[in-house]
């Protein structure tokens, strides 16, 4: 698996408030990021009718769970892709070509692959901005092919990074809802402008690029 952080940075607490005021089609819901998000909240955010309507219309919907005055935060994002989970999975786990649609990713290296295919160890090198040094992170990805991928940091420059990709088939359709969740605590200061750009521009662009890549592959002659 390669598309873990998807170019997303921390300090999301201020970004969520500004994004809502600027009407950038982000659904921001306030929660305490220091506490686990409850099971009921996890179910309800994608089950909300407004969210479902936005996804059906092709929008990328983003939720920010924030903790005031902290350099860390949670986000959740979702997109509808006209392809089965198996097709999306093959793109998500393609380390070799991930830099084509993952903002800032300079290098992806497979360190270890489980013989039974249950998990991988992946090393990422990411350059978010010329203002910042290259960030290295080693993550373990646990696979429940082709519907769920959970990842967490085991080494590198970030203090904490964990999240998941969840793929849900749409009944009566070829489409799949792809949900991305991330909690990140870099452990160092990040410029607010860079965080704002990541949430407003890079995350939607990465998900849109994922959809384009998957749907183009589905249309290509076999």
At residue 89, φ and ψ (nearest 5 deg) are -60, -40
Above pLDDT 90, what percent of the chain?
Answer: 44
pLDDT digits (tens, 9 = 90+) for 97-152: 888 777 778 899 999 999 999 999 999 998 766 667 888 999 999 999 999 999 99
Instruction: Determine the average pLDDT of the residues in 37-54.
Output: 73
DSSP three-state, residue 71: coil
Q: How far does CA 57 lie from the centroid of its chain?
A: 20
Residue 129's pLDDT is: 65
pTM of the model: 0.78
* CATH code reported for the domain at 12-219: 3.30.530.20
Query: Positive or negative, the Cα torsion across 137, 111, 182, 58?
Result: positive
Domain ranges of the chain: 12-219
């Amino acid at each position: 698996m390669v598309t873990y952080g998807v170019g997303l940075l921390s300090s999301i607490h201020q970004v969520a408030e500004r994004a809502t005021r600027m009407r950038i089609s982000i659904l921001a819901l306030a929660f305490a990021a220091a506490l686990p998000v409850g099971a009921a909240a996890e179910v309800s955010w994608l089950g909300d009718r407004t969210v479902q309507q936005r996804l059906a219309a092709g929008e990328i919907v983003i939720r920010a769970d924030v903790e005031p005055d902290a350099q860390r935060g949670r986000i959740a994002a979702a997109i509808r892709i006209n392809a089965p989970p198996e097709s999306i999975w093959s793109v998500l786990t393609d380390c070799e070509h991930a830099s084509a649609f993952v903002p800032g990713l300079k290098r992806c290296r497979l360190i270890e692959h489980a013989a039974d295919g249950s998990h991988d160890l992946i090393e990422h090198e990411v350059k978010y901005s010329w203002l910042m040094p290259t960030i290295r992170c080693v993550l373990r990805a646990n696979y429940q092919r082709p519907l769920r991928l959970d990842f967490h940091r085991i080494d590198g420059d970030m203090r904490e990074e964990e999240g998941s990709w969840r793929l849900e088939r749409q009944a009566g359709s070829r489409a799949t809802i792809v949900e991305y969740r991330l909690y990140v605590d870099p452990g160092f200061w990040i410029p607010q402008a860079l965080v704002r750009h990541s949430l407003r521009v890079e995350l939607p662009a990465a998900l849109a690029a994922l959809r384009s890549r998957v749907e183009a592959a589905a249309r290509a002659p076999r």
